[in-house]
A and B are shown apart, each in its own frame.
Chain A
Amino acid sequence: MDILVVLESKNGSLHRMSREAIVGAQSIAAENGLSISALAIGIDTDQIASSVSGMNLDEVLVANHNLLSTYSADGFAECVKQVIEKENPSLVFVGHTYQTRDYFPKVSARIDKPFIPDVVSLMKEGDFFVFTKTVYNGKLGSKVVSNDSECTLISFQAAAFSEENIESGSASTRSFDIELESSQVRTSSEAPIQEEVSGIDLSSADLIVSVGRGIEKENNLQIVKDLASAINGELASSRPVVDAGWLPSSHQVGSSGQSVSPNLYIALGISGAIQHVVGMKGSKNIIAINKDADAPIFEIADYGVVGNILEIVPKLTEAING
């Protein structure tokens, strides 16, 4: 096999990012004449094997073992190692998930081959593949190449490829025997638990709707809360709103508040003074609505609207819900 895509299960079915990794493989397979195989390890292998059986791949390997029925870093790393040693893929693709971040470095160590993580795109340049990943926390991009022609491990960032582009076909299933002793698995895990979130931890929020002085009155806060609910975002604010007592200080973002770096930060009626901006400039996407065209927030926003939030926000919420 040329490309091995290692699959991951999530809640009994195939992880979305595994699907995306398959798309990634498919995107280079045809024009480079590469064959694609997939590997399902230990958990929900029947469901996973069947869900890829309708995809354009050569085959899906199923590695079952009583020591692989739950995830362990040692177990899964050893399994992937054995598959690679037997099947000799030159490229191994996975999604960049919490799970692969845990065990793929171990695979890299065991087979002494490079692991290029969190890749956003790849291109063929001459005989080599060049992988693009961000560095410096997303501020710069880099082009990375592997110096090992035998095998390179790659994980793809979420949404590097779109699962909508998956090519259908048919893949056969084959069992793969793994040799694993219990002494090789040095960890044991308990059942996963979900945290009770007491207080608001904005620093890990992905989506934030933030409100500033432009909201004018405490009663108007409801329109912002409605928008936050509509897009499933967390509510935050700049200091004046907290000072006025309209929101508790746990919502405050800024130099004397929380530092956030969500995927999306919507700043409503926030001027963008430096004390606020230093707390949120790490946001990946910023949408700002403010009635003052000179508000400094527009210097850092990706999308800006000079307008009245009292008018626009309710309409936006309606359009989203509708």
Chain B
Amino acid sequence: MKIGVLIKQVPGAESALPINDNETGIQEDQASFLMNESDSYALEEAQKIIESRGNGEVVAISLGPDRVQKIIREALAKGADRGIHLQTDAKGLADPLTLAKQFAKALESEQFDLIFSGLQSDDSGMGQTGIILGELLNMSTASLVVGTELSENTLKVKRELEAGWSQWVTLTLPASISIQSGLNQPRYPSLKGIMGAKKKELKILSESEFYIDGKKQSIQKVFVPKTNKKTEMIEGEPDTIVARLVDVLKNEVKVL
């Protein structure tokens, strides 16, 4: 049982996000990078499945510049068996279709039984790469997964639906699923894990081994949304205040 987990290194929720000079992205040297949140849940889920089976391997895969090796090592420390780094210094928020093709080219020979990815990345938030990759590799797919049950020939997943509903779906193998945050408790690497990670295989693929030209969609510009935090202080008599609040709730926040 071989599970490939796609992990992405993204700026954290509290990271500074200053826009770069040509307004196509952020100034990376001021950002605080970490493993994408839903990816860490995907990694934990893969780890749990392999541990409960007692055999198999988890392979952590990431695409990006040298700094992404930090999260691959983190995955190895958390128990992944080996890592693959698709090395590229290409900048900017990418196009999921092209990304998926690059992953397909690099990983096809691995013949993964399962590919796990996080639901969407905390930078571009496209939420597609894992699913498209599954399509390209002829795997069945499901997204918004909040639970898994692997048996001999099938994978049962619990999909999150709107308004507190969910649904169990059975998929044929091989399958590629994108995983929602919260379905498990990502572990903290033990010291043994951290030490052991240094000795595990981290294969680096150069661009020539996976690069695919072309971008199906591109970001023209990144900007700070104009509605910056300007606090509207509501003043006056209580009745006036209440009236304005109801107005806000109804027409601006739209919860009434």
Give A residues with C-beta under 8 Å from B: 73-74, 97-98, 101-102, 104-106, 108-110, 112-118, 130, 133-137, 139-148, 152, 159, 186-195, 197, 203-204, 207, 231-233, 263-264, 282, 285, 287, 298-307, 311-312, 315-316, 319-320
- Complex CA gap A145/B93 in Å reads 13
Task: Identify whether the interface residues of A are mostly helix, strand, loop, or mixed.
Answer: mixed
Taking CB atoms, residues of chain A closer than 8 Å to B249 are 231, 264, 320
B108 to chain A: closest CB distance in Å? 14
Asked if residues A287 and B245 are in contact (CB atoms below 8 Å), the reply is yes
B36 to chain A: closest CB distance in Å? 11
* B218 partner, pick from A102, A147, A152, beta carbons under 8 A: A147
Asked if residues B218 and A109 are in contact (CB atoms below 8 Å), the reply is no
- Complex CA gap A134/B132 in Å reads 21
Taking CB atoms, residues of chain B closer than 8 Å to A263 are 253, 255
B249 to chain A: closest CB distance in Å? 7
- Complex CA gap A307/B223 in Å reads 36
Listed A/B pairs (21) with beta-carbon separation below 8 Å = A73-B141, A73-B142, A108-B97, A109-B97, A117-B126, A137-B122, A140-B19, A141-B222, A143-B220, A147-B215, A188-B169, A190-B169, A194-B164, A264-B253, A302-B229, A303-B231, A305-B241, A305-B245, A315-B242, A316-B245, A319-B246
Asked if residues B232 and A302 are in contact (CB atoms below 8 Å), the reply is yes
Asked if residues B245 and A197 are in contact (CB atoms below 8 Å), the reply is no
Interface residues on B, range: 35 or more
Taking CB atoms, residues of chain A closer than 8 Å to B255 are 207, 231-233, 263-264
Given that A115-B96, A285-B253, A303-B231 are known contacts, is A146 also in contact with B216, CB under 8 Å in the complex?
yes
Taking CB atoms, residues of chain B closer than 8 Å to A133 are 125
- Complex CA gap A303/B254 in Å reads 14
Give B residues with C-beta under 8 Å from A: 11, 13, 17, 19, 26, 93, 95-97, 100, 122-128, 131-132, 135-136, 140-144, 159-162, 164-172, 182, 214-225, 229, 231-235, 238-239, 241-243, 245-246, 248-249, 252-256
A164 to chain B: closest CB distance in Å? 12
A-B contact count (CB 8 A): 219
Given that A114-B95, A115-B96, A194-B165 are known contacts, is A144 also in contact with B217, CB under 8 Å in the complex?
yes
Asked if residues B224 and A140 are in contact (CB atoms below 8 Å), the reply is yes
Taking CB atoms, residues of chain A closer than 8 Å to B95 are 114
B236 to chain A: closest CB distance in Å? 10
Taking CB atoms, residues of chain B closer than 8 Å to A315 are 238-239, 242
Given that A144-B220, A203-B182 are known contacts, is A186 also in contact with B166, CB under 8 Å in the complex?
no
- Complex CA gap A110/B218 in Å reads 20
B2 to chain A: closest CB distance in Å? 19
Taking CB atoms, residues of chain A closer than 8 Å to B170 are 187-189
- Complex CA gap A110/B135 in Å reads 7
Asked if residues A197 and B164 are in contact (CB atoms below 8 Å), the reply is yes
Asked if residues A118 and B96 are in contact (CB atoms below 8 Å), the reply is no
List the A residue with the shortest CB-CB distance to B182: A203
Asked if residues B217 and A116 are in contact (CB atoms below 8 Å), the reply is yes
Asked if residues B127 and A141 are in contact (CB atoms below 8 Å), the reply is no
- Complex CA gap A137/B182 in Å reads 17
- Complex CA gap A152/B142 in Å reads 22
Asked if residues B220 and A101 are in contact (CB atoms below 8 Å), the reply is no
Asked if residues A101 and B144 are in contact (CB atoms below 8 Å), the reply is yes
- Other A-B pairs beyond A109-B135, A142-B222, A315-B238, 16, CB < 8 Å: A73-B142, A109-B100, A109-B131, A116-B217, A135-B123, A135-B124, A140-B222, A159-B254, A186-B172, A189-B170, A192-B161, A193-B167, A194-B166, A232-B255, A301-B231, A306-B235
